Amino acid sequence: STQRHANLPLMTIKCILQQILSGLAHCHASKVMHRNLKPENVLIDSVHNNLGSQDSNSESDLRVVISDFAYSR
């Protein structure tokens, strides 16, 4: 598989990690354990603003989703 490497700003990395940890905390509070967390199961998307534009580069415009709960308990 082809991988792209990007130099992300530190604040963007912090935002992504915060959302991952928040999502895991929510799962664990609901008694769900993912058991297969890896980069391929973390989806990152840009969030549209009110005008439907994706032109902003703000960390707050990122939405992180944890996927593939096939091995969850």
Note the pLDDT of residue 8.
86
Note the pLDDT of residue 35.
84
Note the pLDDT of residue 20.
94
Q: Cβ contacts of residue 25 below 8 Å, gap of 6+?
A: none
Query: Whole-angstrom Cα distance, residue 44 to residue 7?
Result: 15
Tens-binned pLDDT, residue by residue, of the chain (73 aa): 556 667 889 999 999 999 999 999 999 999 988 888 899 999 999 886 555 554 555 666 899 999 887 766 6
Q: Rg (Cα) of the chain, in Å, rounded?
A: 14
